[in-house]
Amino acid sequence: MRADPEVLGPTTPSRAGVTSGHLVYMAMTIGTSALLMAYVVVAARSLEPVQFGQFSALFGIVVLFGAVFTGVQTYMAGSIAAAGRSARGAALRAGGRRLAQWCILVAAAFAVGSPAVAGALSTSTRSVWLVGLVCVLTLVWAALLGVLQGDERFAALAAVNAAQAGLRLLAMVAVVAAASVETILAATALSMVPALLVVVTVITTERPAVAGTTGAPWVARPALPTFLVTMVVGFLSVGDVVLARASLTAQGAADLAIVAVAGRVVVFFAAAVAVLAYPRFVKAARASDARPTLRLAVAGVVAGVVPLTAVVLWQPTFALNVLAGEAGPTTLALLPGYLMAAVLFAVCSPVCYYVLARSHPRRLVRVLVPILGAVTIGGLLVQTPGQLVMVLVAAGLALAGSLAVLVASDSAGVEP
């Protein structure tokens, strides 16, 4: 079968090689997701519920920023994927300069805003400073992963992700007995240093099999739509936990944090599919109809998250006891609605990246800003975890419907 030049150019690996890399990536990502889940599960089972709620809110900021920083990963991946071999070095240098600026900006924001954040979350300023340190390291991490993603070195991407997840879990196990959220955050920050050294070594010592497929200059997706997409993709089980800590009682926030552990199983899988799909969306962006690629990505998400959700709902008490060490009446009542919201957000994840790759920034902004604004305001106004879950389900339905309209109307490709 002849290769489609829009997808596989003369410098790309064979379809068999690409598929093999994807399979290795998915297999290793399953293991990485298990390690990341174990990190949260160890905390959930070892800390008191209210203390776990505090940890979830603080680490939720890290994960939320990490989701936002996938915009940096997306930027780096796109620039490397389109740069071509001769322009790869220039793309790396330009990305490095921007990365330094972004790191300074994030560090300054935490230095100035830590007292206000600490007051809102009823925690110490030092805890927020530690969160800021982890966020800066996560920003660097995201940029480096973007290089591997843009090179389509998915096996290496999966390997370094697994190494980082394993180091994080070891750090948690080593210090969780101290029952100190600050100690856990400090150990997490320390665990990222060797992981960063590993990924830098992988990037600098091994030449990529493919360094771009088109040789065309990369036109970065506008910052606001990329930011909004990553906020939406990473909101569930992360942003909602932060909102719960700010608006609910300590026990209410703890209940939502426990249920969110189950939701992360769904969200993590969708994120892995989106990482694989986005470079393909970028390369197919000028095709008259790239929806077959989108359908494949959505089908992959559905095939993964529906069985996972069914298993959790089949044995909810067992699932919550395994994941969080607690399955009370309140958390069991919250679980079905929360998982419904998780599935909606998961299915929407690759669709968001598809619309982003198709260069429809104004359409994305018009859809995502109202939804994020409504879920944030609604989350701050609620008084019970059940009300917050209802807000999340409504936001998921609104997002799914809006994106369906965007995809249905997408026939011309690049927006003028």
What per-residue confidence (pLDDT) applies to 218?
42
DSSP string, 103-114: HHHHHHHHHHHH
What per-residue confidence (pLDDT) applies to 270?
82
Q: Which of 161-165, 227-231, 283-287, 299-303 has the lowest mean pLDDT?
A: 283-287
401 pLDDT more than 50: yes
Q: Burial level of 387, CB count in 10 A (0-12/13-18/19+)?
A: middle
What per-residue confidence (pLDDT) applies to 223?
61
108 pLDDT more than 90: yes
What per-residue confidence (pLDDT) applies to 199?
86
The H-or-E segment that residue 369 falls in is helix 361-381
What per-residue confidence (pLDDT) applies to 228?
78
224 vs 236, residue with greater confidence: 236
Q: What is the mean pLDDT of residues 334-357?
A: 89
Q: Which of 167-171, 292-296, 378-382, 402-406 has the lowest mean pLDDT?
A: 292-296
Q: Which of 140-144, 210-214, 298-302, 351-355 has the lowest mean pLDDT?
A: 210-214
What per-residue confidence (pLDDT) applies to 25?
65
Using 50, 70 and 90 to split pLDDT, how confident is the model at 17? very low
Q: Which of 13, 89, 94 has its CA nearest to residue 279?
A: 13
133 pLDDT more than 90: yes
Q: How far apart, in whole angstroms, are the C-alpha atoms of residue 99 and residue 355?
A: 25
54 vs 131, residue with greater confidence: 131
Using 50, 70 and 90 to split pLDDT, how confident is the model at 233? confident
Using 50, 70 and 90 to split pLDDT, how confident is the model at 300? confident
- Residue 10 token pair: 């003369």
- Residue 374 token pair: 């409504």
Q: What is the pTM of this model?
A: 0.70
- Under a CB-based contact definition with an 8 Å cutoff, are residues 67 and 141 in contact? no
Using 50, 70 and 90 to split pLDDT, how confident is the model at 6? very low
114 vs 83, residue with greater confidence: 114
**Where do the domains of the chain lie?**
15-219, 221-416
Q: How far apart, in whole angstroms, are the C-alpha atoms of residue 303 and residue 307?
A: 7
274 pLDDT more than 60: yes
In degrees, to the nearest 5, what angle opens at C-alpha 161 toward C-alphas 164 and 52? 55
What per-residue confidence (pLDDT) applies to 159?
84
11 pLDDT more than 60: no
Q: How far is CA 55 from CA 64, 128, 157, 182, 223, in A?
A: 14, 11, 28, 9, 30
What per-residue confidence (pLDDT) applies to 21?
54
Q: How far apart, in whole angstroms, are the C-alpha atoms of residue 305 and residue 200?
A: 33
Backbone angles phi, psi at 370, to 5 degrees: -60, -40
402 pLDDT more than 70: yes
168 pLDDT more than 80: yes
- Under a CB-based contact definition with an 8 Å cutoff, are residues 262 and 319 in contact? yes
Q: Quick one: how far is CA 194 from the chain centroid?
A: 22
Q: How far apart, in whole angstroms, are the C-alpha atoms of residue 319 and residue 342?
A: 16
Highest mean pLDDT among 113-122, 125-134, 278-287, 348-357: 125-134
- Under a CB-based contact definition with an 8 Å cutoff, are residues 69 and 99 in contact? no
Q: What is the mean pLDDT of residues 256-274?
A: 80
Q: What is the mean pLDDT of residues 94-101?
A: 84
Sign of the torsion angle spanned by Cα atoms 278, 290, 363, 341: negative
